[in-house]
Amino acid sequence: MNLPTIAVDLDDTLNNFTEVLQRTEWVRDDTHALSEEVFQDYLAKVRAGSPGEGGLLSTAYSFFRYKIHQECYRRAEARPDGIAFLRWLRQHNWRIVICTQRDLRRAQDCTRRWLRDHEIPFDHLFMAGNKIVFCRLWGIAHLVDNDGFNITHGEAHGVSVYYPAGASSPAPTAKLAPHAARAFQTFDQIIPWIQG
């Protein structure tokens, strides 16, 4: 039997990652092995979303960024309506793919723990840089995600994209290219869209 399948993003879609990153009072301690000046500089870069500089895979900054993100993953609060939506999907025999840009080579255990602790049902957990390509390869017609690229390009590649409207959106829709993605205030708005 071919189950209907949906891919759902985690950070700033199913949780409040950026809010946690921005509002948390990060304090330098000896485990950071950084001066206060470098700590504050790195923290400002992480909050601004900087991936780092240079071609090196591992740097002091990338390790710092990983540690801060790891703590945000742990502290992030799940959207209650998102949990209810995923449970509705499970009850209605949908295959649920959690699709994230997190580096699951490092964050697999904490991500699975967070999903389990919030009693969020899912069938698969994958890391994907380009979620449109991922969905096309897996034959997934529906993607819930807040990334501007996916919002703008999903429909052109046969993927219906639904994104949270408001503060968690990466860019106001006025700044995005014309698109067919649908904004939602609450996850239950998606149900009639995926049934149609």
pLDDT, tens digit, 9 for 90 and up, residues 31-50: 778 999 999 999 999 999 88
Share the mean pLDDT of the chain.
90
Mean pLDDT of 61-78: 93
- Give the global pTM: 0.89
Residue 130: is its pLDDT beyond 70? Answer: yes
Residue 188: is its pLDDT beyond 50? Answer: yes
Question: Which run of H or of E encompasses 162?
Answer: strand 160-164
Alpha-carbon span 84 to 113, nearest angstrom:
18
For 32-67, give one letter per residue: b (16+ CB within 10 A) or e: bebeeeebeebbebbeeeeebeeeeeeeebbebbee
**151, 172 contact by CB (below 8 A):** no
Mean pLDDT of 58-86: 93
Q: Nearest to residue 130, comparing CAs of 151, 149, 158?
A: 149
Q: What share of the chain is helix, strand, coil (3-state, %, to 5)?
A: 50, 15, 40
Residue 173: is its pLDDT beyond 70? Answer: no
For residue 103, CA distances in Å to 5, 57, 116, 124, 193 come to: 23, 12, 19, 15, 30
Q: What is the CA radius of gyration of the chain?
A: 18
Percent of the chain at pLDDT above 90?
A: 74
pLDDT recorded at residue 51: 83
pLDDT recorded at residue 176: 63
Mean pLDDT of 147-173: 81
Residue 171: is its pLDDT beyond 60? Answer: no
Residue 136: is its pLDDT beyond 50? Answer: yes
Residue 80: is its pLDDT beyond 60? Answer: yes
Q: Is 52 left (phi over 0), alpha (psi -120 to 50) or beta?
A: left
φ, ψ for residue 98, nearest 5 deg: -85, 120
Q: Nearest to residue 155, comparing CAs of 174, 175, 137, 135?
A: 135
- pLDDT-based confidence at 123, cuts 50/70/90? very high
Q: Nearest to residue 98, comparing CAs of 52, 54, 106, 85?
A: 85
Question: Which run of H or of E encompasses 104?
Answer: helix 104-117
pLDDT recorded at residue 120: 97
Mean pLDDT of 81-103: 97
CATH number of 5-15+77-195: 3.40.50.1000
Domain boundaries along the sequence of the chain: 5-15+77-195, 18-75
Alpha-carbon span 118 to 80, nearest angstrom:
9
